[in-house]
């Protein structure tokens, strides 16, 4: 449903639809009553207008009561409610509608007074404090204000790690999947046969090892192995820190890790290409390599784009394990701030929200990108519970049989994915 349709649906609901007036606005009124019962903050503008607020409160209560009467009437006169109810009389209807708008307005006023002004007040006091306030929200605001640099640095590092890592992994995965899908052709000589065999086995082994070990362990291994090697060349620890920083080691880890998963996704996309495409290319005299490069591969990559782009979302989240080697990402930054204030829950809630914003932004952008390439966008999920979606191009123009085959192969790809 487009935004326009939704808006016009909403307009219709607000201005014309009479069926849910009481039901919807009684809920709104209840929320308003709840707000009015909340304590007033220092910035509350209703504080000086006590009489107005009391009137608003009783108006909402009266509305709730009226709704209750209407509900009882409806329940007792189920069959002929429309004819017998006093609320459906043509003279009464518009009054009720206008009153319902008033309910919404009153609730909005209360919302602004309590929630928005309350939040501003909390923020004002929290920022003015020189000690960490005790209330949840105030404490978060205070700590965010004091450690904005640390958190900001963490966010930037996380974005860098996941974006660069995903891009590097994409190119490496393209190279690796080439090795992976090589098959022996009749016209190959022994040397080519050996190379193909070797490449394909290497890619298989790589994928098995990388996907079969935790990234945290990989990060440790890569960081300390690199460190050890440089140490053996006689460099000092500070010199090594300049070349083999934790960030570089983290980037290498996430790239190499993501390569294996992306390779499997690409392979799934390539195997989902109708085998008839390859046969047609071969029947014209194209070599296996030419058919692969010019026909099968472009279609396979296109098939894989939704699942591939999902890898960015995965990397945003998974980069958090790199904090184990001391990469200054969002996770590490959060831990650092926790070390200062010992407010674990508050700070990890913030971290979770920031990660959520990042992943949602990423998948929104990637959805736009995928639409631009006219392929179906992937839903916001981790790769593990998602099928490899085949783009609209796959299988069109082939018989039912080959379409089914495409689906079957696709499922295969998804199964492989789900091992993750």
Partner 1 sequence: MADSTNQPLIQVEGLSKSFGSHLVLKDINFSVSRGEVVTIIGASGSGKSTLLRCMNLLETPNAGHIWFHGEDLAAERVNINRLREDIGMVFQSFNLFNNLNVLDNCTLAPVTLKKMSKAEAEEVARANIASVGLSEFVNAPVTSLSGGQKQRVAIARALCMKPELMLFDEPTSALDPEIVGEVLNVMRDLAESGMTMVVVTHEMAFAKNVSDRVVFMDQGVIAEEGTPEQIFRNPRQPRTREFLTRYLED
* Binding region for partner 1 (CB under 8 A): 186-187, 189, 274, 276-277, 279-287, 290, 294-295, 298-299, 302, 393-394, 396-399, 401-402
**CB closer to partner 1 out of 228 and 397:** 397
How many residues appear in the chain?
420
Nearest residue to 181 (alpha-carbon basis) of 257, 289, 303, 306: 289
**CB closer to partner 1 out of 171 and 289:** 289
Question: Least distance (Å) from partner 1 to the CB of residue 271?
Answer: 15
**CB closer to partner 1 out of 192 and 240:** 192
What is the sign of the dihedral through the CA atoms of 308, 312, 317 and 319?
positive
CA distance 409 to 407: 5
**CB closer to partner 1 out of 288 and 334:** 288
**CB closer to partner 1 out of 30 and 174:** 174
Question: Least distance (Å) from partner 1 to the CB of residue 190?
Answer: 10
Contact 21, 67 (CB under 8 A): no
Question: Least distance (Å) from partner 1 to the CB of residue 391?
Answer: 10
Question: Least distance (Å) from partner 1 to the CB of residue 255?
Answer: 28
What distance lies between CA 103 and its chain's CA centroid? 36
Question: Least distance (Å) from partner 1 to the CB of residue 401?
Answer: 8
**CB closer to partner 1 out of 80 and 189:** 189
Question: Least distance (Å) from partner 1 to the CB of residue 273?
Answer: 9
What distance lies between CA 46 and its chain's CA centroid? 39
**CB closer to partner 1 out of 160 and 188:** 188
What distance lies between CA 299 and its chain's CA centroid? 26
Burial class (CB in 10 A: 0-12, 13-18, 19+), 8: exposed
Question: Least distance (Å) from partner 1 to the CB of residue 368?
Answer: 22
What is the sign of the dihedral through the CA atoms of 144, 150, 154 and 156?
positive
Q: What is the dihedral of CA 301, 307, 313, 317, to 10 degrees?
A: -110
Contact 383, 265 (CB under 8 A): yes
């Amino acid at each position: 449903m487009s935004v326009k349709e939704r808006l016009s649906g909403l307009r219709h609901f607000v201005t014309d639809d009479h069926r849910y007036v009481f039901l919807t606005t009684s809920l709104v009124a209840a929320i308003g009553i709840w707000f009015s019962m909340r304590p007033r903050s220092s910035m509350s503008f209703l504080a000086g207008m006590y009489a107005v607020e009391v009137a608003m409160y009783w108006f909402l209560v009266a509305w709730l009561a009226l709704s209750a009467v209407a509900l009882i009437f409806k329940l007792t006169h189920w069959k002929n409610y429309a004819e017998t109810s006093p609320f459906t009389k043509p003279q009464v209807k518009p009054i009720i509608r206008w009153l319902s708008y008033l309910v919404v307005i009153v609730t909005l006023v209360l919302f602004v007074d309590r929630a928005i002004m309350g939040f501003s007040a909390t923020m004002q006091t929290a920022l003015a404090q020189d000690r960490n306030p005790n209330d949840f929200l105030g404490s978060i605001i205070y700590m965010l204000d004091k450690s904005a640099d640390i958190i900001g640095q963490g966010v930037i590092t996380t974005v860098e790690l996941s974006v660069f890592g995903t891009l590097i992994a994409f190119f490496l995965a393209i190279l690796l999947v080439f090795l992976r899908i090589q098959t022996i052709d009749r016209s190959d000589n022994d040397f080519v046969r050996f190379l193909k065999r070797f490449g394909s086995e290497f890619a298989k082994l790589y994928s098995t090892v990388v996907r079969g070990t935790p990234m945290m362990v990989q990060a440790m291994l890569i960081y300390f192995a690199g460190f050890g090697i440089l140490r053996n060349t006689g460099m000092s620890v500070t010199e090594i820190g300049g070349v083999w920083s934790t960030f570089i080691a983290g980037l290498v880890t996430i790239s190499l890790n993501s390569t294996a998963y992306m390779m499997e996704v690409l392979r799934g996309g390539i195997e989902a290409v109708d085998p008839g495409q390859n046969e047609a290319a071969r029947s014209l005299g194209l070599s296996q390599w030419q058919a692969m490069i010019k026909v099968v591969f472009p279609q396979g990559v296109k098939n894989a784009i939704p699942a591939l782009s999902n890898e960015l979302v995965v990397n945003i989240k998974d980069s958090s394990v790199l904090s184990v080697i001391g990469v200054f990402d969002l996770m590490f930054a959060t831990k650092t701030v926790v070390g200062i204030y010992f407010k674990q829950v508050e700070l990890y809630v913030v971290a979770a929200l920031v990660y959520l914003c990042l992943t949602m932004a990423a998948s929104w952008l990637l959805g736009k990108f995928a639409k631009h390439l006219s392929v179906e966008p992937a839903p916001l999920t981790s790769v593990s519970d998602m099928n490899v979606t085949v783009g609209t191009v796959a299988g069109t123009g082939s018989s039912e049989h080959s379409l089914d085959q495409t689906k079957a192969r696709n499922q295969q790809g998804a199964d492989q994915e789900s091992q993750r």
